[in-house]
């Protein structure tokens, strides 16, 4: 109880601090700006005091980040908070990338945002600086009537069966139907251009896609298909309430390159958003054969899900890498 309240308070502070930081930045811009007529009223002392307090709070939060041995913390910090803050720093990550954040917030208010804004924003998000401060500028928008982008990824990919690693959507729907499980809402993690969501839409299932651009117009592509792109990185808590999703698919982005502990937090977050009886589909997850057996298998096993499908196949003979496609069902009792 006390812990939950403390954590809530911490997160609330972090959220307020992130937003106030931008205000602070803005306030210092206003004070030092020489060009802008008419002269702006000075920032009141009490506001500055407040901002200093918040800065101090951020500094204090930052100290949470690396579990330094020297600090003599009298109150015990929950171990998972320390662990997670190393994977995806809480509140302090914007602070850790002050240069980028300053660059992002360096713009002329009420005018066009600088042309490289979108990539700076994504760089910050990928470094864990999220939510980003709001700005008052006009971002570059596409033409009034966006045409569907040419997407090389066709929906055929989810309809055909070439080997055991495939799970065509008709088969997925059949599996769900045979266990009286209705698929209405899905989440595709790292879903690229939204091809899975587009295919599921044909079957009247709504799928939201988390996707980063990474120099390709993925978010625009998803939107041009009339689907919802969520611009959130893999390390971020899924912006969905507990137990509301029927299906989560993890595609190419979710793989062995994710540090193991980060992957563990991700899988438990997937568990949080899945309803009882919902499905987790690991689609062509890959890793070294020995790791699949000794590391990833047991990790996935911790969720206690029913293995509806579990198929492995060679990815690369040379590296001893295997693919795993698994369809797992969250137990009803959970």
Ligand X SMILES: *[C@@H]1O[C@H](CO)[C@@H](O)[C@H](O)[C@H]1NC(C)=O
Q: How far is the CB of 169 from ligand X (least distance, A)?
A: 10
Q: How far is the CB of 203 from ligand X (least distance, A)?
A: 5
Q: How far is the CB of 75 from ligand X (least distance, A)?
A: 55
Which residues contact residue 90 at a Cβ distance below 8 angstroms, ignoring those fewer than 6 apart?
10, 11, 14, 61, 64, 65, 81, 84
No. of H helices and E strands in the chain?
12, 7
Q: Which is nearer to ligand X, 67 or 168 (CB)?
A: 168
Q: Which of 75, 143, 152, 204 binds ligand X (CB under 6 A)?
A: 204
136 binds ligand X (CB under 6 A): no
Longest dimension (CA), the chain: 70
Q: How far is the CB of 225 from ligand X (least distance, A)?
A: 16
Distance CA(199)–CA(183), nearest Å, equals 13
CA-CA-CA-CA torsion sign (119, 124, 126, 132): negative
Q: Which is nearer to ligand X, 56 or 202 (CB)?
A: 202
Cis peptide bond upstream of 131, omega within 30:
yes
CB atoms within 10 A of CB 63: 13
Beta strands in the chain (DSSP E): 185-189, 206-210, 229-230, 245-250, 274-288, 306-316, 321-329
- Ranked by CB distance to ligand X, the top (closest) residue is 204
- Cβ-contact 156, 216 below 8 angstroms: no
- 123, HSE (Cβ side, Cα atoms, 13 Å): 14
Which residues contact residue 255 at a Cβ distance below 8 angstroms, ignoring those fewer than 6 apart?
285, 286, 287
Q: Which is nearer to ligand X, 76 or 204 (CB)?
A: 204
Q: Which is nearer to ligand X, 16 or 177 (CB)?
A: 177
Q: Which is nearer to ligand X, 246 or 271 (CB)?
A: 246
Q: How far is the CB of 176 from ligand X (least distance, A)?
A: 13
Q: Which is nearer to ligand X, 112 or 203 (CB)?
A: 203
74 binds ligand X (CB under 6 A): no
Q: How far is the CB of 71 from ligand X (least distance, A)?
A: 58
Q: How far is the CB of 182 from ligand X (least distance, A)?
A: 12
Per rule CB under 6 A, count of chain residues that contact ligand X: 2
203 binds ligand X (CB under 6 A): yes
Q: Which is nearer to ligand X, 42 or 170 (CB)?
A: 170
- Cβ-contact 215, 232 below 8 angstroms: no
- Chain positions contacting ligand X, by CB under 6 A: 203-204
């Amino acid at each position: 109880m006390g812990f939950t309240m403390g954590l809530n308070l911490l997160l609330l502070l972090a959220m307020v601090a992130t937003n106030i930081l931008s205000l602070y930045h803005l306030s210092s811009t206003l004070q030092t700006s020489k060009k802008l007529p008419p002269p702006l009223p000075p920032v009141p002392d009490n506001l500055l005091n407040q901002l200093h307090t918040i800065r101090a709070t951020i500094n204090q939060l930052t100290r949470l980040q690396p579990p330094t041995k020297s600090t003599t913390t009298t109150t015990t910090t929950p171990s998972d908070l320390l662990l997670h803050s190393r994977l995806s720093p809480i509140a302090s990550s914007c602070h850790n990338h002050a240069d980028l954040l300053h660059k992002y917030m360096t713009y002329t208010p009420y005018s066009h945002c600088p042309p490289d804004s979108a990539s700076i924003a994504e760089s910050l998000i990928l470094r864990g600086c999220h939510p980003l401060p709001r700005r008052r500028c006009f971002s570059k928008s596409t033409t009034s009537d966006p045409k569907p982008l040419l997407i090389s990824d066709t929906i055929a990919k989810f309809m055909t069966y070439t080997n055991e690693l495939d799970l065509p959507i008709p088969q997925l729907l059949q599996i769900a139907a045979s266990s009286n499980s209705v698929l209405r809402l899905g989440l595709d993690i790292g879903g690229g251009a939204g091809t899975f969501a587009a295919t599921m839409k044909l079957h009247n299932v709504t799928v939201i896609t988390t996707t980063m651009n990474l120099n390709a117009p993925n978010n625009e592509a998803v939107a041009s298909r009339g689907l919802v792109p969520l611009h959130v990185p893999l390390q971020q808590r899924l912006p969905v309430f507990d137990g509301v999703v029927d299906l989560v698919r993890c595609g190419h982005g979710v793989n062995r390159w994710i540090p193991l502990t980060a992957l563990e937090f991700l899988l438990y977050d997937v568990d949080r958003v899945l309803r009882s009886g919902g499905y987790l589909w690991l689609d062509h997850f890959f890793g070294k054969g020995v790791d699949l057996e000794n590391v990833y298998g047991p990790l996935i096993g911790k969720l206690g899900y029913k293995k509806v499908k579990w198929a492995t196949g060679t990815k690369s003979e040379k590296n001893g890498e295997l693919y795993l496609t698994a369809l797992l069902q969250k137990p009803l009792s959970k």
